[in-house]
């Protein structure tokens, strides 16, 4: 019997379709969508509602999905190297199959019969030293010197640590099981680095616990078609307009969006090329990001997506859940945080912008349904409006000043995600992992390392096979 009775996560592979809620064509893709230029930019056309959804480069999005699902959810190095299983999917069983000459347990995959030795991780005081060095923003060479290894070995250890922590945390997340409801908050940020390098990052947190579920950036280590590459120089991100009142700030943000020829074409400024990596257009990263979030939402009876008010992620949020939206099992909302705490807007709501989005006040600003209904199965409720803002603040505090190559950066981001979730507590003394129900304690780095070693080395629950 499989270890977890889970269905395979189905990722959408085509994204050119109508994205207007209420239109019968919402989310309906075709094998050969028609590309038109009627609006002065590449789009497709919906004859039912006469909308022109911006063209999406499916090839780039699919390439990103393939890259990111392995980066975030693979069972490497503990899973079968032939089946390449991932978290949130049904796992093949493995049984004991003798030992290696070094005395390590060998396993046989029950699905494909491959004999393999799962990766393990030794308890080692250096793991805590690396975590503390990374969080202290210390240069790689200095951490390597402290733990007395060559820089090359340090980078290998950094990757093993990030992978071990990832396996420990993804195991807890995927065991979390079927839930009646979850809400996910997603916001973007530009990550600045020295020498003119910058990345566009998207982070999603559980909106009720603040647990960081997924961090992605527009950095890809795979070849990206020219159409999907980011190369813009100008800047057209909407500002928060905190000096203005809430209503005026929202009006200005819609004006900013309309000034873009293509409202999904976000330019976050000059971003110089990075060695051994490609930069991808933000909207395409968002399409892949929301497909990966399906791993968390597909086992919920009902879910909400709360999106930063940014039109380059709107279509992606809808495409991450359009089946569930049609069945009434999911809803998508825009959120705009503002220090006026929503008081300026009428409780009945006010229509703003070219699309006539209806905005309502709440304690941290305003919200607008992207999937408006007469009656929501579950009303808008954003428990922790600062969840992503706080996670980004912590991330910016640990990011290295320079990007020399992508892999160490991705490792640091994963180490930070796990530390933030399990060790970083709020004023009330709760970590996101505690709010998530994963533990009753605030962990320190040693506890984080111990949990990682235990989980990786005992990943295959072999006692059950005795
Ligand atoms: Zn339509
Ligand atoms: Zn296998």
Residue pLDDT, tens place only, 85-119: 999 988 889 999 999 998 889 999 999 999 999 99
Of 217, 209, 215, 216, which is closest to residue 184 (Cα–Cα)? Answer: 209
* Overall domain count for the chain: 1
Q: Is residue 398 a part of any domain in this protein?
A: yes
Measured in Å, residue 234 CA sits from the centre of ligand 2 at 48
* CA 55–ligand 1 middle distance (angstroms): 14
**Is residue 22 in a domain?**
no
Stated pTM of the model? 0.96
Containing structural domain, residue 71: 58-78+119-465
The gap from C-alpha 38 to its chain's centroid, in whole angstroms, comes to 33
The answer to whether residue 342 scores a pLDDT higher than 80 is: no
Q: Dump strand ranges (E) for 118-271.
A: 179-192, 198-206, 212-217, 219-220
Q: Within a domain: residue 33?
A: no
Q: How many angstroms separate the alpha carbon of residue 40 from the centre of ligand 1? A: 19
Q: Report the mean per-residue pLDDT for the chain.
A: 93
- What pLDDT digit, counting tens, does each position of 426-460 carry? 999 999 999 999 999 999 999 999 999 999 999 98
Spatial CA neighbour of 305 closest among 201, 389, 183: 183
Structural domain includes residue 35: no
Strands 198-206 and 212-217: antiparallel
Can you point out the beta strands (E) in 374-450? none
Q: Which ligand is closest in space to the CA of residue 116?
A: 2
In a domain, 104, yes or no: no
Query: How far apart are the CA of 458 and the centre of ligand 2, in A?
Result: 18
Q: How far apart are the first and last CA of the chain?
A: 15
Tell me the HSE value of 112 on the side-chain side, using a 13 A CA sphere: 11
Residue 49 falls inside a structural domain: no
The one-character DSSP state at 123 is: -
Residue 363 in domain: yes
Kindly tell me the sign of the dihedral angle through the C-alpha atoms of 367, 368, 370, 375: positive
- Ligand nearest to the backbone CA of 322: 1
User: What is the Å distance from ligand 2's center to 267 Cα?
Assistant: 43
Each residue of 33-86: pLDDT tens digit? 999 999 899 999 999 999 999 999 999 999 999 999 999 999 999 999 999 999
In degrees, to the nearest 5, what angle opens at C-alpha 192 toward C-alphas 194 and 134? Answer: 80
Give residue for tokens 């990206």. Answer: 224
Q: Is residue 17 part of a domain?
A: no
Handedness of CA 411, 173, 370, 64 (dihedral sign): positive
Give the distance (Å) from ligand 2 centre to CA of residue 291: 25
- Report pLDDT digits (tens) over 258-297: 999 899 999 999 888 898 999 999 999 999 999 999 999 9
Cα–Cα distance, 211 to 207 (Å, whole number): 8
Q: Residue 440 to residues 101, 387, 413, 422: CA-CA distances in angstroms? A: 41, 20, 25, 10
Q: Report which of 63, 72, 61 is spatially closest to residue 264, judged by C-alpha positions.
A: 61
């Amino acid at each position: 019997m499989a270890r977890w009775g889970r269905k395979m996560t189905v990722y959408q592979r085509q994204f050119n379709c109508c994205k207007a809620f209420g239109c019968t064509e919402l989310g309906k893709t075709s094998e050969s969508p028609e590309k038109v230029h009627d609006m002065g930019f590449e789009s497709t056309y919906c004859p039912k509602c006469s909308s022109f959804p911006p063209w999406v480069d499916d090839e780039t999005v699919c390439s990103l999905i393939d890259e990111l699902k392995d980066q975030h959810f693979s069972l490497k190095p503990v899973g079968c190297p032939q089946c390449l299983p991932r978290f949130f999917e049904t796992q093949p069983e493995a049984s004991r199959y003798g030992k290696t000459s070094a005395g390590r347990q060998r396993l046989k995959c029950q699905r494909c019969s491959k004999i393999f030795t799962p990766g393990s991780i030794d308890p080692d005081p250096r793991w805590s030293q690396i975590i503390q060095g990374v969080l202290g923003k210390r240069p790689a060479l200095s951490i390597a010197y402290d733990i007395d290894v060559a820089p090359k070995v340090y980078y290998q250890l950094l990757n093993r640590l990030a992978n071990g922590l990832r396996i420990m945390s993804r195991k807890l997340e995927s065991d979390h099981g079927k839930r009646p409801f979850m809400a996910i908050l997603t916001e973007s940020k530009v990550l600045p680095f020295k020498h003119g390098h910058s990345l566009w990052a998207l982070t999603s947190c559980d909106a009720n616990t603040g647990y960081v579920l997924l961090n992605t950036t527009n950095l890809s280590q795979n070849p990206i078609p020219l159409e999907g590459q980011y190369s813009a120089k100008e800047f057209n991100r909407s500002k928060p307009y905190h000096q203005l009142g809430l209503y005026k700030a929202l009006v200005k943000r819609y004006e900013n969006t309309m000034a873009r020829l293509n409202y999904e074409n976000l330019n976050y400024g000059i971003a110089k090329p990075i060695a051994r990596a490609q930069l991808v257009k933000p909207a395409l990263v968002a399409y892949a990001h929301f497909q990966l979030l399906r791993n968390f939402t597909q086992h919920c009876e009902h879910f909400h997506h709360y999106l930063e008010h940014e039109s380059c992620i709107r279509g992606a949020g809808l495409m991450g859940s359009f089946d569930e939206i049609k069945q009434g099992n999911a809803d998508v909302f825009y959120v705009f945080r503002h220090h006026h705490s929503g008081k300026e807007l009428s409780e009945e709501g006010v229509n703003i912008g070219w699309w006539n989005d209806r905005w309502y006040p709440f304690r941290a600003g305003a919200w607008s349904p992207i999937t408006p209904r007469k009656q929501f199965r579950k009303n808008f409720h954003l428990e922790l409006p600062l969840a992503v803002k706080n996670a980004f603040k912590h991330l910016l505090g640990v990011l290295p000043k320079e990007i020399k190559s992508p892999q160490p950066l991705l490792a640091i981001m994963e180490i930070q995600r796990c530390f933030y979730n399990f060790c970083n507590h709020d004023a009330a003394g709760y970590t996101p992992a505690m709010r998530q129900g994963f533990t009753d304690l605030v962990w320190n780095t040693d506890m984080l390392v111990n949990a990682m070693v235990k989980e990786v080395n005992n990943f295959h629950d072999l006692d059950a096979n005795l």
